[in-house]
Amino acid sequence: MTTTFSCFDYLLGISSGAVVGIAIAMVAVGCAIGLLIYRFVARRMVGSVKQECNRIREEGRQDAKSYLKEAKVEAKDEQQRLRSEFEKECRERRNEINRTEQRLAQREDFLSKKESAIDHKSDVLDDKKRQLEEKEKKLDNLEEEIQHAHSRMIEEIEKVAQMTQAEAKDVLMNELLEEARRDAAVEAKEIEQKAKEEADKKAKNIVAMAIQRCSADHASEFAVSVVELPSEDMKGRLIGRVGRNIRAIENATGVDLIIDDTPDVVTLSGFDPVRREVARLTIERLVSDGRIHPARIEETAEKVKKELDAQMKEAGENAAFDAGVYGLHPEIIKLLGRLKYRTSYGQNVLKHSLEVSYLAGIMAAELGADVKVAKRAGLLHDLGKAVDHEVEGTHISIGVELAKKFKESPAVVHAIEAHHGDVEAKTIEAVIVQAADSISGARPGARRESLENYVKRLEKLESVANAFEGVEQSFAIQAGREIRVMVKPEKVDDKATAFLAKDIAKKIEAELEYPGQIKVNVIREVRHTEYAK
């Protein structure tokens, strides 16, 4: 222990510079020893590496010699195989060439034979060509001879017939045209007859079904213009003191009250059927009440007007409901109700409109048209008659304006405008409304007609038929539903009667106005009379 502490003390006594020098000397000695060791190890490793490289080189030489020997053997085998394949392919090519040469030789022989045959046929064709040319020359000569003979024959025929060829052609053409015209008339008559039969059958079925399903009343209603009184004394009370009551009635109702010598009745004269109905009801209530003076008259008339307005509105609503037409404007409903008191040729216009609506709906359903449009247009087609006495214009133009004003569809407006043929019907619904209107107005008992107008219509119908050339006399029968035309047999033949009947029918359609249809019968009669003595 004493020695250890002595060394430590000794080291502490050494200076720091001496310590650094010793450390450097020790590092240098370590490096020198390490270098010597590295050189020794490196020499030994280089020697072992050289030996390994020599061994590997020798092994490589041995392997290369064996690989070269094997490659030479494989090359000889491959060369032998390729040589045998080449020789085989050469033999096959030579065989193929031989076969091709044989085929070419055979084809050459065939072509040579074919060429000789063609040469032979060419010679034959040349011979036939020469023969044909000779025949053509002969035919040309024959044609010239025939033409000369034909011209000589024509000259001989013209001398015998005493007319030229052109004249003969005209005669023949006229005969052919006349014959064609007769045949065409017969054919046209047959086609027309067949078409009429089919169309009439179909139309009759549709119209009969529509009328049968409609079942409208045949009785006509007339406007009321006469009021019955319980006694003659009531006339004086209606006149009143110095005529004050009659003036009050006329002022309140707008109609003329005519009191004459007719017993127990007074006559109401007024163009407006609604006003006339107001006056009738007012007078009946005044007579039943017994109190007749101006104040009472005005009060009763005003009450009757309100009640009648309500009745007309209700009538319009019922008509629209019965017809199955919905969505009408309230003003149109009121106008329909006014038609209850409007008549046309004795036919109630509201019932007529309902009937047309029914008929149009039935026919539209049968024909596949728009049923709603047909029924709506049928109900509104005479709407203008409700106010035609108040507004200037025809009931058609007024109805069209009203329909446009209350936003009716263009199809309904067009049907109203065309229901009397003032404009051409462009839709099937318009045509159906025309037909339904004619059926409703033409059925038995629907309308009344004055004797004077009836006679004028028959005379006009006969005059239209008598205006045609060849007509001897005509007769309008069955209340103007049929006209029978007697023709002169020497001027009109049987074939021409069909055309004459058609022309008369077209002229009647163009010049006359009539409900329904008119049947045209053309009759040609030939009588020969001889007496045996």
State residue 376's pLDDT score: 92
- DSSP letter string, 412-471: HHHHHHHTTSSS---SHHHHHHHHHHHHHHHSTTS----HHHHHHHHHHHHHHHHTSTTE
Query: How confident is residue 485, by pLDDT bands cut at 50, 70 and 90?
Result: very high
Average pLDDT over residues 196-208: 66
Backbone angles phi, psi at 473, to 5 degrees: -165, 155
DSSP string, 176-206: HHHHHHHHHHHHHHHHHHHHHHHHHHHHHHH
Tally the C-alpha atoms within 13 A of residue 152's C-alpha that lie toward its C-beta: 6
Residues whose CB is less than 8 angstroms from the CB of residue 420 and which lie 6 or more positions away in sequence, other chains included: 396, 434, 437
Taking residue 378's Cβ as centre, other Cβ atoms within 10 Å add up to: 33
CA of 426: how far to CAs of 297, 364, 416, in Å? 52, 15, 12
pLDDT score at 315? 86
Tokens read off for 92: 């096959």
Strand-pair category, 482-487 with 519-524: parallel
The average confidence (pLDDT) of the chain is 80
325 within 8 A of 357, measured Cβ to Cβ: yes
472 DSSP assignment = E
* Whole-number Å distance between alpha carbons of 359 and 507: 29
**What's the full length of the chain, in residues?**
533
Q: Is 216 helix (H, G, I), strand (E, B) or coil?
A: coil
Q: How far apart are CA 273 and CA 277, in angstroms?
A: 6
- Which of 131-140, 186-195, 343-352 bottoms out in mean pLDDT, i.e. has the lowest? 186-195
Longest dimension (CA), the chain: 212
- pLDDT for 442 equals 64
Flag whether pLDDT at 126 surpasses 60: yes
* Single-letter residue type at 527: R
The alpha carbon of 125 is separated from its chain's Cα centroid by a whole number of angstroms, namely: 67
298 alpha carbon, distance to own chain's centre: 60
Task: For CA atoms 385, 390, 396, 399, give the dihedral sign.
Answer: negative
pLDDT for res 513: 77
Report the 10 Å Cβ neighbour count for 364. Answer: 24
**267-293 confidence digits (pLDDT tens):** 887 777 778 888 888 888 888 888 888
User: Residue 304 has what pLDDT?
Assistant: 87
Tens digits of residue pLDDT in 34-58: 777 877 777 777 777 778 878 888 8
* Mean pLDDT, residues 478-483 taken together: 79
Whether the model pTM is above 0.75: no
Packing angle, helices 165-214 and 428-442, rounded to 10: 70
- Tokens at 479, concatenated: 């209340």
Looking at residue 216, its pLDDT comes to: 44
Tell me what the mean pLDDT of segment 355-368 comes to.
Answer: 89
Among 54-68, 183-197, 200-214, 237-251, where is mean pLDDT lowest? 200-214
Residue 156 has pLDDT above 60, yes or no: yes
Helix (H) or strand (E) holding 267, with range, is: strand 265-269
CB 336 within 8 A of CB 176: no
Return the higher-pLDDT residue of 478 and 471.
Answer: 471
- Residue environment code for 198-231, b if the CB has 16+ CB neighbours within 10 A, otherwise e: eeeeeeeebbeebbeebebeeebeeeebebebee
